[in-house]
Amino acid sequence: MAHSDIICCISKRFEQARESGNLLFFPSTVTKLPALGVEFQIRLCPALQKKPPIPPPDLGAIEADAGIKSDRAEQREKERHDPFCPYDPHLHLGDLQDQDGAEYVVLFNKFSVVPNHFLLVTKEFQLQSSPLMPSDLVQAYSILIAGQKAGQRYFGFYNCGEQSGASQPHKHLQFIPIEDDGPPTERLARSAHLEMADKPFSLPQLPYAHHIFRFPSNLPSSPPAKIEHTLSTAFLNLLDLVFSTIRHATEYPPGKPSYNVILTIDHMHLIPRRTHEYTFPETGETLSVNALGYAGLLLVKSEEQLKAVQSAGVGNILEAVGLTSVHEIQLGEATTEV
Ligand code: B4P
């Protein structure tokens, strides 16, 4: 299937899936919160408190089994609860395959807070804690290009590792439509003036560690081999910086590093993560943060949580669940015109 076929009827198919009752849509309201030189969006969705529970996957055991790579381990993996295999056919948008044979299914998010939120899932089970492969990146970017050509803009994100905010261990990237020129932190990245166009950079006004790469402006119309090379090189360079940031961090949790990825037509952002949730000091309540938080889109499930976020400050929350920005180990620092 072509990427454009996934995009073309998405709104109609979203409504069909919703009407069938197989896709659950949770209404929400958005509060804009100016912080760190940009307007963050805090989405309040009380209805999510009634989201049906999904059996928690045994992440530790799955990682251990993947390390063993025996037939028995593979069988055990398959037997565990995996919402993407087998997937719900009512949520199925199509299949994608790249020239090297890597296969994917595209599914609507079953628990949608924004319309047309969909997932790119590896057909065979792969670990969510594994890095993005060139084929993952190319498929994701091709979806963004198809959206752009159809006049529908999306951005992609990937929650990698136990502390990243991911809840499902089967490898999947997610896509959310962008209403305007956002998401918010992408707006900041776009306004950055770079001394060296082909080097990773960070934004001085953001207190948390993050690493961004700007793609050449002609990338969407470049030959496939150039797209693959650019995306893969960018990812590896940014991942190196994530590992380097983590090595400099004190008290980083043991185990595989966790990080978030945000992919737009113009940039790739990687954000190292220390922990998946923020604990409000006054109440001890927690707030889960995934890649969307670092895109500038936080999700809260009650008015109290919204007030608590406003009082704690978005920058403090993102710094606490990520790592403190250490500019001297970064290759480049941008100056922004905001
Ligand atoms: P993960 O990477 O594992 O985790 P997540 O997006 O943080 O979602 P989580 O499941 O932790 O939900 P949460 O209450 O925090 O992604 C797994 C994805 O698979 C999720 O999108 C999940 O809904 C989806 N899924 C699970 N079972 C499925 C099935 N059987 N078939 C198809 N898809 C399935 O957040 C609730 C929802 O709000 C999530 O969808 C989340 O992505 C979304 N969300 C979070 N912040 C948001 C924001 N600021 N704006 C809009 N949406 C937001």
| HSE (side-chain half, CA atoms, 13 Å) at 253 | 17
211 neighbors 202 (Cβ within 8 angstroms): yes
Selection from 157, 12, 173, 46 nearest residue 102 by Cα: 173
Who has greater pLDDT, 55 or 90? 90
Question: Quick one: pLDDT band at residue 310, thresholds 50, 70, 90?
Answer: very high
- CA 337 to ligand 1 centroid distance, Å: 33
Cβ(110) – ligand 1 distance below 6 Å = yes
pLDDT tops 90 at residue 91: yes
Query: What is the distance between the alpha carbons of residues 262 and 318, in angstroms, rounded to a whole number?
Result: 15
Average pLDDT over residues 235-255: 93
CATH classification of the domain holding 35: 3.30.428.70
Average pLDDT, the chain: 90
Number of domains observed in the structure of the chain: 1
- CA 106 to ligand 1 centroid distance, Å: 15
Q: What is the 3-state secondary structure (H, E, C) of 153-198?
A: CEEEEEEECCCCCCCCCECEEEEEECCCCCCHHHHHHHCEECCCCC
pLDDT, one tens digit per residue, over 260-304 is 999 999 999 999 999 999 999 999 999 999 999 999 999 999 999
Tell the residue nearest (CA) to atom 48 of ligand 1. 299
Cβ(114) – ligand 1 distance below 6 Å = yes
Average pLDDT over residues 239-262: 93
Query: What is the distance between the alpha carbons of residues 293 and 28, in angstroms, rounded to a whole number?
Result: 16
Quick one: pLDDT at residue 81?
Answer: 82
Quick one: pLDDT at residue 236?
Answer: 98
pLDDT tops 70 at residue 315: yes
Query: What is the distance between the alpha carbons of residues 301 and 287, in angstroms, rounded to a whole number?
Result: 9
Quick one: pLDDT at residue 179?
Answer: 78
Average pLDDT over residues 44-53: 90
| ipTM computed for the complex | 0.94
List Cβ neighbours of 213 (8 Å cut-off, separation of 6 or more): 200, 201, 234, 237, 238, 267, 268
45, 167, 288: residue to mutate for ligand 1 pocket, most atoms within 8 A of CB: 167
pLDDT, one tens digit per residue, over 54-84 is 655 555 555 555 554 544 555 454 546 899 9
Cα–Cα distances in angstroms (integers) from residue 187 to residues 38, 215, 219, 295, in the given order: 8, 15, 19, 10
Who has greater pLDDT, 66 or 195? 195
Cβ(17) – ligand 1 distance below 6 Å = no
Cα–Cα distances in angstroms (integers) from residue 127 to residues 36, 117, 121, 193, in the given order: 34, 21, 11, 37
pLDDT tops 80 at residue 220: yes
List Cβ neighbours of 21 (8 Å cut-off, separation of 6 or more): none
Question: Quick one: pLDDT band at residue 318, thresholds 50, 70, 90?
Answer: very high
109, 271, 298: residue to mutate for ligand 1 pocket, most atoms within 8 A of CB: 109
Cα–Cα distances in angstroms (integers) from residue 36 to residues 89, 143, 295, in the given order: 42, 30, 13
How large a percentage of the chain has pLDDT more than 70?
88
Query: ∠28-34-36 over CA atoms, to 5°?
Result: 125
Selection from 253, 252, 270 nearest residue 261 by Cα: 270
For the CA of 167, the nearest atom of ligand 1: 3
Average pLDDT over residues 175-189: 91
| HSE (side-chain half, CA atoms, 13 Å) at 9 | 9
What range defines the domain where residue 12 resides?
A: 3-50+59-336
Phi, psi of 230 (to 5 degrees): -65, -45
- CA 315 to ligand 1 centroid distance, Å: 23
SS3 of residue 318 by DSSP: helix
Question: Quick one: pLDDT band at residue 326, thresholds 50, 70, 90?
Answer: confident
Strand partners, 92: 107
Cβ(83) – ligand 1 distance below 6 Å = yes
Cβ(82) – ligand 1 distance below 6 Å = no
- CA 277 to ligand 1 centroid distance, Å: 15
- CA 331 to ligand 1 centroid distance, Å: 33
Question: Quick one: pLDDT band at residue 237, thresholds 50, 70, 90?
Answer: very high
Quick one: pLDDT at residue 100?
Answer: 85
